[in-house]
Structure 1
Amino acid sequence: MTSFRPAPRWLADAVFYQIYPQSFADSNGDGIGDFDGIAERLDHLAWLGVNTVWLNPCFVSPFRDAGYDVSDYLNVAPRYGSNDDLAKLVDEARTHGIRVLLDLVAGHTSDQHPWFTASANDPADDRYIWAAEGPDGSRPDGFVDSPGARPGAYLPNFFAFQPALNFGYAQENPAEPWRQPIGAEGPRANRAALRAVMDHWLGLGLSGFRVDMAASLVKDDPDKTETARIWTELRHWLDDTHPDAVLLSEWGEPEVSVPAGFHTDFFLQFGGPTDGRALRSLWSNTEGTVNESWDPLDCFFDPSGKGTPGLFVDAWQQASAAVADSGFVSLPTANHDFSRLNCGPRTAEQLPAAFAFQLTWPTLPAIYYGDEIGMRYVPGLPDKEGSVLGPRYNRAGSRTPMQWDDGPNAGFSTAPADRLYLPLDPAPDRPTVAAQRADETSLLHFVRRLIALRTATPELGSGGSVEVLHAGYPFVYVRGGRYLVVVNPRRNAVSYAYGIAAEPRPLEVSGVHVDGGTLTAEGFAYGIFDLGR
């Protein structure tokens, strides 16, 4: 394993909170969230116990893919404010004890980025991956015809308007001359550009980056060896120039990404043996109906009990052993690309158990905005900035405006309803921050108590040991040799025989009973107990 400077000390205690900025809080009444709106809501995050915020891309963009099509890495999009407004937000967050990370789209740009428009008109420019037109006018599979004077076609990363930056190919082929080596001029220029972009924003007070599609850089790199080398190079640079900054990867395989140089990686988003499904219980298509084609055995939180925590435990143990002390694994509730934890009425009851698990497991928790109040995935919304991914799934349902109160537009914006970035959840009983702040029995208060308990109890944090006693239903484990956690994501009651010498002291318990060494968990129950030393 490559030797890096140890991760900054603050990272071990991080509680991440992801903000989709256009949907969080609108300060100027244009229907789109902005930096000033986020700044006005920092009190909520500080009260909740969050200490690290990740913002989805906020750079200049034509917004055909919600900002993941960047046309200027060094300036923010005017709809969010100015660079000075972002700097003020970072400063204000710091006064609340909150660090801010930006989203770095490393592998591609918009087709409107000046780099690409120049490359599309200059056959000598190798910042992107270009293939010459075949004798019969053909182009290689997956390539898109040039929009400029340059003949041939370019390789996109995702949508056609997102041309892939050229970081080289792991395997060259003389018959395919677009497969440039990693050390060619174009790939070297792009690695230098990544350093320049990171240096710019870190110099303005940002604390690091979540890196989009971090595994996508080098092409035809099946084991990601060459892509890992790029991140290793960047990590050494970061250690030397910005040692307190962190890199959080969208890779999905911590056992690969963390040894490569990332400080932490998201687990259970995609990739790995569970392919991102273990923490989600339902999936919705564009009509919002349940998609029964998924393998239910891959789902930990299956309410009917078809799943098994054993799949999660096996995958996590493999990743944890590979990461060891070199970094961390982060466990998210959801994000802007996936269904929320609350996908419908059948999952709302599971949310407390899900949070009891997430906030007591030895990973860095990441809460997607609104999950702390149980915001639901909203089906049937129109496409917005590339949210529809074919007939299977519409990401807009996970990107609806934050629900602050029961006022107009749920307190998100003073704009007319038809000018909002996305429609609100139309449910008459949609949860709000204000209502749950006023109710100490609410999910919001429960999540806040769990974060406080985790923060005050090192054994429940990322560094505490974990012993899995039962990787079935209920899921039972002990943290730090002292704290017993019982989670039942099923709707039916279950029991587990566990020889407890003395009555454990309950810390956060709902529906879990201890009787003569037997644990009984009612449907959707959870329990956190202090066993004493």
Structure 2
Amino acid sequence: MNTTPTTTQDTTGGPATGWWTEAVIYQIYPRSFADSDGDGFGDLPGITARLGHLAELGVDAVWLSPFYPSPQADAGYDVADYRDVDPLFGRLEDADKLIAEARAKGLKVIVDLVPNHTSSAHRWFTAALAAGPGSPERARYVFRDGLGPDGAQPPNDWQSVFGGPAWTRVTDPDGRPGQWYLHLFDTAQPDLNWDHPEVRAEFLDILRFWLDRGVDGFRVDVAHGLIKQADLADWQEPQEILSGAEVAKPRPPMWDQDGVHEIYREWRRLLDSYGGDRILVAEAWVEPAERLVRYVRPDEMHQAFNFEYLLAAWTAPAQYAVITRSLEATDAVGAPTTWVLSNHDVVRHASRLGLPTTLTGGRPNGIGAGDPQPDAPTGLRRARAATLLMLALPGSAYLYQGEELGLPEHTTMPDEARQDPTWARSGHTVPGRDGCRVPIPWEADAPSYGFGPTDASWLPQPPSWAEYALDRQRGVPGSTYELYRTALRLRREHGLGRGTLRWLSSGDEVLTFANDGVTVLTNFGSAPVPAPAGELLASSAPLDPDGRVPTDVTVWLRT
């Protein structure tokens, strides 16, 4: 019985033009990609030395997570200086060399921008603490007097995304308890006041600094959080980075406020003045899709990550619904849809899809040794099928480092090794994101699996990493790495990123659509299903003896 329409439907990726509309972009988490000096932390020279891997893989661009000077309270998302490189990762000249080498290999470079908050070590915040209440220095941040006769209560009831209160009280220069400052994340990440013209001018100058150095765009961290509701009203719902999935529900006062769009229109004008198709990418945890696409209207950003797709259940009806809704929403504003399955903030999809919750959607915030463990073979099989489904969709797609190797989450990491602030702020109840950030394996028999020249690794690598190493997969038919390489080549050859999606069937167990000259079929059911002739690629092979598609398999076929 079908629960979704089976009529043919045409849906495109929108009329926008530019390299980003169909690009496959590879996220690099610098501290975990490649370590050139053996200190256990990845760095910019290490990335530069491995750019050949990305060119061979067949991606179009790289996105670099933060490499700026930082105390590393949140792995670099607490920025102390937006115009330099942390010595942990190299020097500014290393960034210039990386950009030049990437361009020589045909790769665009996108860098992370963190505008919602700075580090508490940023010169602005240290000046704010020294200057005291009512000062121009404090006006750059969100400082408020506390409640109660002695101001001992926080200004409102907001909670941090990482757990605990979103407010911290400071000690004034005279030694007495003072005002409170807002931090929607860690205490070391004070929120900026984006109603202040000096904050807006500063970030325009930061954009110019990196544009002048040749970057091709910016991924904007917490893009939906810059503007807060003016009255800072209490919010008694659970704190989530998502803005809320239901249109009828009020939006949280800290997320997805309409004022953010004025900021991005100004940024877009600046990028357009540079030419060369420089882009803005929104990390906006916004639902429903109709709210998300406001960020990619023609005069704002170019892309917005589709987190509703990432969170969707692994069922045919759920996948049909989110794909259709996403494409229709972005079509309405003339933008491409930007698909994603994994990144540095979520459980890797090779593990997430092996959990029982796969069939209901959602995601855990990390997996610990004492938690229910994913079914590894099922997770990898579904991950390969999900990736092949995603790469056949019109629009752009993002890959997270190591997913081309089929890397799972490190789900048995010792608690004492955890560094994500979520772990500490939740009272050691939420594992957090360390499991998806473990340094990736390049060579099975090398120290740190080839991550660096020594055994040092800032997070422990599990013993199973050897089987996923690149040198165990390159040139091996059927390996996850070779599946990605082939899929990216065929996606490019058939123009799937700029194609048109036409649903052929959408039932309880099977999805089938055509994208120009390719038919794509995914079997979500428990029994094999017939497949048309003309197989181009299958996520798992071989098909059964009768040529049928087994469960949790995606196939591409010539139309």
**TM-score, length basis structure 2:** 0.78
Aligned residue in 1 for 2:142: 129
Deviation of the 1:421 alpha carbon: 1.1
* Cα separation, 1, equivalents of 2:140 and 2:118: 11
CA distance in 2 between counterparts of 1:428 and 1:214 reads 34
Tell me by how many angstroms 1:243 deviates: 5.1
More strand by share: 1
User: What letter is aligned with 1:140?
Assistant: P
Query: 1:203 is aligned with what amino acid?
Result: D
- Is 1:70 paired with 2:100? no
Partners of 1:495 and 1:380 in 2: CA distance: 36
Q: Distance in 2 between matches of 1:130 and 1:308?
A: 43
Runs (4 or more) in structure 1 with deviation over 6 Å come to none
- Give the TM-score, by structure 1 length: 0.82
Task: Report matched runs for 1:264-343 at 5 Å.
Answer: 264-268=303-307, 272=308, 276-278=310-312, 299-300=313-314, 308-324=318-334, 327-343=335-351
Q: Which residue of 2 aligns with 1:529?
A: 557
Percent of pairs with identical residues: 32
Q: CA, structure 1 residues 415+428, in 2 after alignment: closer, same or farther (shift >3 Å)?
A: closer
Residue 248 of structure 2 is matched in structure 1 by none
SS at match of 1:225: coil
Q: Which of residues 374, 384, 405 is equivalent to 2:419?
A: 384
- What is the match of residue 34 of structure 1? 43
In the alignment, which of 537, 541, 547 is matched to residue 508 of structure 1?
537
Structure 1 residue 522, shift from structure 2 partner: 1.0
Q: Is 233-242 or 27-36 further displaced after alignment?
A: 233-242
Output the amino acid matched with 2:491.
Answer: R
- 2:438 corresponding residue in structure 1: 400
Q: Partner of 1:283 in structure 2?
A: none
Measured after TM superposition, the shift of residue 144 of structure 1 is 1.5
Q: Is the 8 A contact 1:154 1:163 kept in 2?
A: yes
Cα root mean square deviation, aligned:
2.4
Deviation at 1:520, TM superposition (A): 4.3
Alignment of 1:157 with 2:184, yes or no, is yes
Q: Answer whether contact 2:449 2:466 (CA < 8 A) is retained.
A: no
Match of 2:356 in 1: none
Shift of 1:437: 0.2
**SS at structure 2 position matched to 1:495:** coil
For the residues of structure 2 that align with 1:80 and 1:328, how far apart are their CA atoms? 33
Is this contact kept in 2: 1:313–1:471, CA < 8 A?
A: no
Q: Is the 8 A contact 2:22 2:395 kept in 1?
A: no
Q: In the alignment, is residue 447 of structure 1 matched against residue 481 of structure 2?
A: no
Assess, with a 3 A threshold, how the Cα gap between structure 1 residues 428 and 101 changes in structure 2: closer, same or farther. Answer: closer
Answer whether contact 1:202 1:242 (CA < 8 A) is retained.
no
Q: Distance in 2 between matches of 1:124 and 1:37?
A: 44
Question: Cα–Cα, structure 1 residues 240 and 8, in superposed 2: closer, same or farther, change >3 Å?
Answer: farther
Which residue is equivalent to 1:249? 282
When structure 1 is superposed on structure 2, of 370-379 and 435-444 the one drifting more is 435-444
Q: Compute the displacement of 1:212 (Å).
A: 0.3
Q: How many residues align?
A: 463
- The equivalent residue for 1:420 is 457
Comparing 506-515 with 75-84, greater Cα deviation is found at 506-515
Task: Choose from 169, 176, 195 the match for 1:145.
Answer: 169
- Residue 512 of structure 1 deviates from its aligned partner by 5.6
Distance (whole Å) between structure 1 residues aligned to residue 61 and residue 119 of structure 2 = 28
CA contact (8 A) 1:29 1:413 kept: yes
Aligned match of 1:114 in 110, 115, 123? Answer: 123
Structure 2's unaligned 5+ residue stretches are 1-14, 157-165, 231-250, 287-291, 352-373
Q: Could you give the per-residue CA deviations for residues 338-382 of structure 1, whole angstroms, max 9, x where no partner exists? A: 010111413012232122101101121111000001011002432
Q: Which has the higher contact order (CA 8 A, sep 6+)?
A: 2
Q: 1:261 aligns with which of 279, 293, 300?
A: 300
Residue in 1 aligned with 2:108? 99
Distance across 2 between alignment mates of 1:410 and 1:446: 22
Aligned to 1:174: none
- In structure 1, what is the equivalent of residue 3 of structure 2? none
Q: Offset of 1:57 from its aligned partner?
A: 0.7
Distance 2:285 2:184 in 1: 17
Cα 1:428–1:339 change in 2 (3 A) is closer
TM-aligned CA deviation for residue 258 of structure 1: 0.6
2:171 and 2:23 map into 1 onto residues whose CA distance is 44
In structure 2, do the counterparts of structure 1 residues 376 and 513 end up closer, same or farther at CA, with 3 Å as the change threshold? closer
Change (3 A) 1:97 1:428: closer
Q: Does the CA contact (< 8 Å) of 2:422 and 2:430 recur in 1?
A: no
Partner residue of 1:349?
381
After superposition, the Cα gap between the structure-2 partners of 1:137 and 1:351, relative to the gap in structure 1 and judged at 3 Å, is closer
How far apart, CA to CA, are the structure 2 residues paired with 1:113 and 1:148? 18
Query: Which of residues 146, 161, 167 in structure 1 aligns to 2:194?
Result: 167
Unaligned runs of 5+ in 1: 1-5, 169-186, 279-298
| Aligned equivalents of 1:147, 1:71: Cα separation in 2 | 21
